[in-house]
Structures are given as C-alpha cells and as structure tokens.
Chains A and B, each alone.
Chain A
Amino acid sequence: MNAVVVGHAVSNNAGAEQVTRARSLVSDRKVVRLLDSRSAPPFVAGVEAVDSARVQDGDRTGLFTASDELDEPMAAAWTKMLGPDASALSPAEVFQRLMSDRLSPVIWLRSMGSNMLCQAAIARGLRGPSIHFVGDGETAAYALTMAVAALEEEQADVMVVVGFDFPASAHPGDHDGTVAAAIALARADDQSRDLLSFAVESAEAGRGSSAFELLRACVVGVEEARRAGEAKVDLGHGPVVTFATPFAHHGQQPVQG
C-alpha cells in the first residue's frame, strides 16, 4: 500500500491571532473554551489539515500529535497558581493554599499535553486512533510510522499528524513562540504518487531535530514535490498557510485558501 499526503498546514508564531483563528474554525466557541493559547497554533494546523483532506467520516479519521515537553517551568506555574509570593511559601503553606480556593481545575486541564489533540477531535468529531507523543524529531518519526500503520491496518481512512514545539523559556502568558505543522495521510492506490517514502526519509533524517521541524520538513518537501507537479498553490488565512495538494485521494479536490 502507498500512503499519500492529502492535506497539510503550517501554523506559527501568531499568538493571540491564532486563538482568534482557532475560534473561527468552530461553530460553537464553547468547543474550544478550554483551548490554551499555546495549543492554539497546533489546533489550527491540525484542523486545517483535517479540513484540507476533506474528511468524510470522523470515526475513521485519526490524529497523532508530537511535541516537545509541554510542562511549564514550575516556577512560572507556581506563580500563576499561587501568586507572586509562591517561592517564599513553605510546602505546608502551599498545600493549604492549593486546598483552599486557589487551584482551578481549568488551569491544569488546559495544561494537559494532549489538550490540543482533544480539542481538535471535539471540533471535528474525530474518533479515529488518537495519541500524543512527547519527544523530539525521532519521536515525531515514530508518530508518522504509526499513522501509516493505522492506515495499512485499516484502522483509519485518514490520519493527521501534527508536530509542534514550544520555546524553551516559555512564560505562562507567552504563546508567541509555539509553532506547528501538520500533514494528513491517506491510503492510495498504486498509481498515486507515494509521498510516504519522502516522509519516512525526512523522519529518519530528523534525528536530533524537533517534532515541529520534522513535520515542517515534510510539509516543505510535499510542497516542493507538488510544485514540481505544476499544481496550484493556495495561500490563505494570514499567518497560517494552507496548501492544496494534487495528491488527492478518493476524489478529494484542492482546497481554496
């Protein structure tokens, strides 16, 4: 079996704009009320890739995500949860404060590493295979491999893989550094151009890179291949770039940006 890329997107460094963009992608803003600002760019990239793949059946569409460590530096997290005097408190005082009324469940639900995956799945009704991996480019390569395996084993018809990273020195309120790239894969017949080998080559070359860098390399490579095929490019959505692809599957059409 070949696997082809049927959609892809890159979302980067747009901070609050991406939160706005994320909200515009859902019909009901309640759907993304728990989407934290750092997860907004990967949410946008993932949903754009899903949409560009023209998904027909959410139950047969899966989403794998890979990122570096989400955990905020604890000092910043403590400040957010407990106030600026957190570092001066004894453990007993901290616990007492947490158990009173200082800890909102929303804070930590929003900080879950899989939050973007969950929110994107809710937004588009995706009930296919669903896993978030934490690590580097090699981890993202494993995610790609497993996504292809899910297609080969017919556990899904479309698999979307998102890679995203956070800046190492993230401040709780600083979401401008989050970058994300996504591709959507589908099974292909033998005549389709197989871009899986490209993705795997990129993946294997990605050792030492980040999850985002690996997925971006895939997106760029796909785009170069697409250009060589003289296909049309659709750019849109401001800082978000959504590409149409000629490697459409099962009658999917290029997406107008």
Chain B
Amino acid sequence: VTPCGTTVESTWQAVVAGRSGISTIRRFPVGSSARAGGMVPGFEEDVPPGRSLAMLFGDTAVMEALGDAGLDPHRDQVDVVLLGNHGERTFPNESPNEWTALSITRHIAATAGARSAVNVYGACAAGALAIGSAAALLRAGKADIAVAGGVDALLRPIEYAKFAALGGMSVRDCEPYQASCPFDARRDGFVLSEGAGFVVLETAESARRRGVEPKAVLEGSGCSQNAYHVVASPPDGLGPALAMQRALTQANRSASEVGYINAHGTGTQDNDACETTAIKRVFGEAAYRVPVSSTKGVMGHTMAAAGAIEFVLSVKVAQEGVVPPTANWEVSSSECDLDYVPGEARRDTTLRCVLTNSFGFGGQCASLLVGAA
C-alpha cells in the first residue's frame, strides 16, 4: 500500500513506469511550508474520522502478503509479527483515540493471527530492521513463519509540524511530482508519504512442508550504527557501509555479484551524498558500474514503511529482471556521481542479486540482500 498503488502489482507498475504518486497536500493547510505529499489513493483529501490510517493500510498490506503466501490467518499459525511503526498521533479534541506504535503492532499481529508481536523502532530503517530481525529469529529456530514489515501514516498535522520544524522536507518551487528528486543536484529534502509493506518470511523447510514456492531468498541482512549524530548522516559513510558489508558477508557474496542497489535515497543533501560515499567504500570501482536507484522519486518517503516496501520492490526486481529508474533525476553533482538509472527502467535478465538500503534518524542503518529464488 503506497501512494503509487494499493497492491504490490499496481505499485510495481507505477515505479517501473516512473509514474508519481505525489500530489499537493490537501488534508490540512500547509501554508508556505512543504506542499507535496504522498497520500495513499482514496485518502488524498480526507481521513476517516476516528480511524487509524496505519491500521487500515497495515491490514490491507498484511492480508495481501498472507494471501500471496497461501496463508489464512484463521487457519494457519504465524509465529510472530515484527513491525516498524511510529504510532499515529492526532490533535487534542480531534479523535478520542491514540494509536501508539505498540498498539498498531498488536493490531496487525491480531489481523495476521500471530502468536506474538514485536515493534521495531528504527525510524526510517525500521521496516528493513524488522525484516532482518525476523530472519534472525527464523535462523535461531524461534519461528518457522514470520510476518515482517513496516507501516506509517504520518501525513497528520502533528507529524508534519515535527518534520517542518526539522527542515527536512522539500520546499522547492516546483510541481509536487517533481519535489522528490533523489541524488539530483537540485534535491532539497524528502517528500513525506504514507504506506505499508509486508513480507512473509519462512524457513525453507517450512515452505517445502507447505508445498509453496518461494518468491525470493533473503540471503543476507546487516545493520549498524552511525554513532555520529541523531539526525545528520556521517560524511565518511562508515555506518551505512558497515551495514552493506555485513549483509554481503552473511550472504557470502562479493560486491561484484550485486546487480542492482535499491538505495535509501531520500532526496536530502545529507543522506544522498553519504549513501553514495558508502556505496563507493564497499564497492570500490564497481560502484560506478552497478545501477543504483531510489524509488522515493515517485512515492516519497513512507518512513518506517520504506524499508519494507523497498524490500518488496527488490524482490520484484529479482523476479522480473527489471531495474526501476530514479524519477526526477536530471542534474548530476560531484558528490553524487554514480549510475542512478535516469529516465526509463532497464531490463537485465542476468540480474540475480539485489541490495536494498535503509537508514534512519537515530543513526540506524540496515541493508538486505535479496537473491532470486
């Protein structure tokens, strides 16, 4: 569930076509601050009173994931749900409800029929951290089937005001669909968006027992800390580089085997330069040959959901052999000088291995390595 579509397929088609889901925020008056936002289709203007959008989006996405995996929450046992989420806050007198991160996590776990629920708090890396953590629990024998992902619905006035106070959102004078331009020299901030993404992770033995075919293999996951600043990215790229290297090491892969990098690529000056530096640290000269793109150009930054949505898209890349473009990339800069897949999507039938990155406030970094099934 993203601003580009409410299913995996509709989102994938929009991402590959470079079709933006970003428009002008109309849910509340934004004044002279950032005007562009990524609202989920059907919720562009209004929010159902007294309802949590995070729960709505999360329920939709988790049911699609379960259905795709051939699981029925009323019949099959999911061991654990791990969810990246920040809660959903409303103004005083606006709603009688208060949806905390944990209450949303437990709601999604109940929808999935899971035995237990864990909230993973890692800011914008949370969705990817949840997926990596779920894989660790499977490897440790603590679960056979785990549902992991992220959901956030922060296009609420309070959260918008927080990000406006931080100065992180794009205020560039342009059409809303052009506002998110990762790795472009004109980038001036991210576009706040909402959405949900989930995957069902299962041990190979469990999948064989159930007679289901895997869509992809999570070959490696790595996480790290910048240990640098609460919100600023380290100029040396060390934290993100360590996460990428750990994912490669766990997968027993070399950097040269990676056919595509799905970047965190938020469109902030800081992040995109840091991520480019980090990729160079890990890949060396190969950094200039591997295609790197950010799907946030069309869907903005879905925050805790981003890492999970981008993992799902990375699975699609591995399945389809199609590399999505970085929408709105037009102007290069000295600090961002890799191949960001401008223009149109590329077909690469030899592509077997995809690396996806997620970084968050609080200094947390996560990388996941997806292999074709």
Contacts and interface: CB of A to CB of B under 8 A. Distances in A.
A interacts with B: yes
Interface of A: 34, 58-59, 62-63, 68-71, 74-75, 78, 86-87, 89-92, 94-95, 98-99, 103-105, 108-109, 112-115, 117-119, 121-122, 124-135, 138-139, 142, 145-146, 148-150, 153-155
B33 interface: yes
B92 A69 contact: no
B83 to A, nearest CB: 10
A132 B84 CA distance: 10
Given A126-B227, A149-B140, A131 B101 contact: no
A186 to B, nearest CB: 17
B123 A146 contact: no
B238 A146 contact: no
A122 B363 contact: yes
A59 B243 CA distance: 11
A74 B224 CA distance: 31
Given A87-B93, A99-B164, A142 B118 contact: yes
B2 to A, nearest CB: 24
Kindly name the residue among A125, A129, A142 whose own CB sees the greatest number of chain B CB atoms within 10 A: A129
Nearest to A123: B227
Contacts of A75: 92
Kindly name the residue among B164, B165, B250 whose own CB sees the greatest number of chain A CB atoms within 10 A: B165
B117 A135 contact: yes
Interface in B232-283: 238-239, 242, 246, 249-250
A99 B158 contact: no
Interface in B14-72: 28-29, 31, 33
B54 to A, nearest CB: 14
Contact of B161 (A98, A114, A115, A122): A98
Contact of B228 (A103, A113, A122, A132): A122
A146 B101 contact: no
A87 B92 CA distance: 6
Contact of B242 (A59, A78, A117): A59
A114 B157 contact: no
A123 B120 CA distance: 23
Given A127-B225, A130-B223, 15 more contacts: A63-B225, A69-B102, A74-B98, A89-B91, A89-B93, A91-B157, A92-B29, A98-B157, A109-B231, A126-B227, A131-B133, A134-B119, A135-B102, A146-B140, A154-B249
B230 interface: yes
Interface string B132-157: 01001101101000000000000001
Contacts of A146: 133, 136-137, 140
Given A114-B123, A130-B223, A149-B140, A69 B161 contact: no
Nearest to B99: A71
Contacts of A94: 91-92, 157
Contact of A129 (B31, B223, B238): B223
A131 B227 contact: no
A91 to B, nearest CB: 4
- Please list the 5 inter-chain residue pairs (A to B) with the smallest Cβ-Cβ separation, ordered nearest first: A130-B225, A134-B119, A98-B161, A114-B362, A91-B91
20 contacts: A68-B102, A98-B161, A98-B165, A103-B162, A108-B162, A112-B121, A126-B227, A127-B242, A129-B246, A130-B364, A132-B120, A132-B121, A142-B137, A142-B142, A145-B136, A145-B137, A145-B142, A146-B137, A148-B140, A149-B136
A90 B29 CA distance: 14
B90 to A, nearest CB: 8
